[in-house]
Structure 1
Amino acid sequence: MKNFIWDFDGTLFDTYPAMVDGAWRALQDFGITADKKEIYFVMKKYSTSQLRQSYQLSEEKFTPLFHRYETESQEVSAPFQDTKLVLEKLKAHGGRHFILTHRLTHSTWKLLKDFGLDELVEEVVGIDQEFPRKPDPSSLHAIIKKFHLQKTEAMMIGDRRLDIEAGNNAGIATCLYDIDHFLGDIPATYVVNELKQIIGLPEII
C-alpha cells in the first residue's frame, strides 16, 4: 500500500472539541440549547450536516456561523499523539499522503502548517472545492486521477461511516479509525483503535 487518503477531523487531528463548541454556539444563535455530548455523538456517528438537518436549519444560515465559531473557539485543535509518527513512517517507506475533508481547504492547510505537517501531505481536497460530499466517491476519483494512483495501492482512512463508504464506493481499501466504539458495524477493510496500528497492517510496510 503506497497511497494514503486521509480524512482530517477526528482522524489526523483531534478537532472535535472546537467543532462541537462551534456547533453548540451556532445552535444557540437559533435559540437551540443542545448538550455537547449529544452534538458530538451526532457529528461523529453521522455528520455535521445531519446535526443541522435534525434541527431543520438551512446550510446557508448554519454553516457560516458554525465555521466562524469553530475558528474562534478556545478549544485546542491538534494532531493526535501518533499522527506525525505515522505520516513520517509511511512516507519514509514510499508512502504518499492526501487529505479528503469536509473542512475548508485553507483551514486544513493552516493547521497542518501550524504543527509542521504540511510538507508530509501532497494535496488537500476540502469541502469548498465543490465536489459532492462523502460518501460520494467523486473527490476520491479526482485524487486518484490527478496523481495517477493505482486503486490496488490506495487506502481511504477515516473515523466515520461516510469515510469508509466513500472508499468502498471508489473501489479502494479502507481503514476505520475507531476510538469511541459507538459507530456500529461498518464494512471497512481494516479497523484500528490507535493510529500507529496502521503501520502494522498487512501490505503497509
Structure 2
Amino acid sequence: MFRHVIWDFDGTLFDTYPVMAKVFKDLLEKENIEEPIEEIIKKMQVSMAFTLNYYKKKYNISSDFIKDYQIQRKSKELSLARPFAEIENICNYIHSTNRKNYLYTHRGDSSVTLLKSYGLYDYFSDFITLENGFERKPSPDALNYLIDKHSIQREEAIMIGDREVDLVAAKNAGISACYFNENSEGNDNSDYIIDNFKQLYAIL
C-alpha cells in the first residue's frame, strides 16, 4: 500500500496546459504568427523552458513577448485553470485514510495559490516548488529531500505525473512512478499507467 503520494502539478493535478497554450497562441497571433494549439501544448508538456527556446529559435520571439506571456498566463490561470475530474475526491481520500499528499512542481508559488483556491491545500502535507531551488527533474534531489524530511519508506511512496521527467525522477529516487496520460499511451519508466484518476483507488 502506498502511504505517500507525490503529485506533479501542471497536467496532473490541474489541467493548465490548455490555458497556458491559449495565452501563448494569442500572443503569437498578435505577431501574425499562426501555430496550432496542439503543437504548443506538446512543447509545453516537455517543459516551459523548451517551449520558449523552441519558439525563440523558430520565430525570434522577443524578451518582451516572454514577459507579456508570463504576466497574462499568471492572470488568466487563477481564473481559468481547473483541477482534473476526481482530483478533489482522491486527495481527500488519501488524506482521510491517514496517508499523505505532497506537491512537487517546477512551477512557483502560484501552484499553492491554486490549491488554496479550489480547497485542496489542506489535503497536502508539504510542497516543493520553484522557490525551493532544487535541481530540476529528473534529478531526485527534491524527492530525496521529502523522503528524508518525512521519514518516508521508499516502497510506500509513489510519484504521479504526466511527463517523462516525473517518472524518471521517481525512478532515480527509488520510488514507484504512475504515468497519467489521457490517451492511455505507455511509458517504459512507469510502474502504473492511468488515463483518469478514478483508476488510482485500485493502485493506492
TM-fit CA distance, 1:15: 1.1
Q: Is the 8 A contact 1:108 1:124 kept in 2?
A: no
Equivalences for 1:35-114 in 2 at 5 Å? 35-44=36-45, 46-56=46-56, 61=63, 64-73=67-76, 76-105=80-109, 107-114=110-117
Q: Is the 8 A contact 2:177 2:190 kept in 1?
A: yes
Question: Out of 163, 166, 172, which is 1:163 matched to?
Answer: 166
Distance 1:31 1:103, change over 3 A: farther
Distance 1:18 1:177, change over 3 A: same
Question: Out of 134, 140, 150, which is 2:143 matched to?
Answer: 140
Counterpart of 1:151, as a letter, is R
Distance 1:197 1:63, change over 3 A: farther
Please give the alpha-carbon distance, in whole angstroms, between the structure 1 residues aligned to 2:83 and 2:152.
Answer: 26
Q: Is the 8 A contact 2:4 2:158 kept in 1?
A: yes
Distance 1:36 1:141, change over 3 A: same
Question: Out of 176, 192, 195, which is 2:194 matched to?
Answer: 192
Q: Is the 8 A contact 2:186 2:193 kept in 1?
A: no
Q: Is the 8 A contact 2:179 2:187 kept in 1?
A: no
Distance 1:3 1:51, change over 3 A: same
- The corresponding residue for 1:119 is 122
Unaligned runs of 5+ in 1: none
Distance 1:49 1:26, change over 3 A: farther
TM-fit CA distance, 1:180: 3.2
**SS, match of residue 14 in structure 1:** coil
Please give the alpha-carbon distance, in whole angstroms, between the structure 2 residues aligned to 1:125 and 1:190.
Answer: 23
TM-fit CA distance, 1:96: 0.1
Please give the alpha-carbon distance, in whole angstroms, between the structure 2 residues aligned to 1:144 and 1:27.
Answer: 42
Q: Is the 8 A contact 1:84 1:117 kept in 2?
A: yes
Please give the alpha-carbon distance, in whole angstroms, between the structure 1 residues aligned to 2:138 and 2:170.
Answer: 8
Please give the alpha-carbon distance, in whole angstroms, between the structure 1 residues aligned to 2:98 and 2:67.
Answer: 39
- The corresponding residue for 1:151 is 154
Distance 1:200 1:20, change over 3 A: same
**SS, match of residue 79 in structure 1:** coil
Counterpart of 1:96, as a letter, is K
Please give the alpha-carbon distance, in whole angstroms, between the structure 1 residues aligned to 2:91 and 2:183.
Answer: 22
List structure 1 runs of 4+ shifted beyond 2 angstroms.
21-35, 55-58, 60-67, 72-75, 183-186
- The corresponding residue for 2:20 is 19
Please give the alpha-carbon distance, in whole angstroms, between the structure 2 residues aligned to 1:32 and 1:127.
Answer: 31
Q: CA RMSD in A?
A: 2.4
TM-fit CA distance, 1:197: 0.6
**SS, match of residue 156 in structure 1:** strand
Using the size of structure 1 for normalisation, the TM-score is: 0.86
Please give the alpha-carbon distance, in whole angstroms, between the structure 1 residues aligned to 2:54 and 2:193.
Answer: 29
Counterpart of 2:192, as a letter, is Y
Unaligned runs of 5+ in 2: none
Q: Is the 8 A contact 1:175 1:192 kept in 2?
A: yes
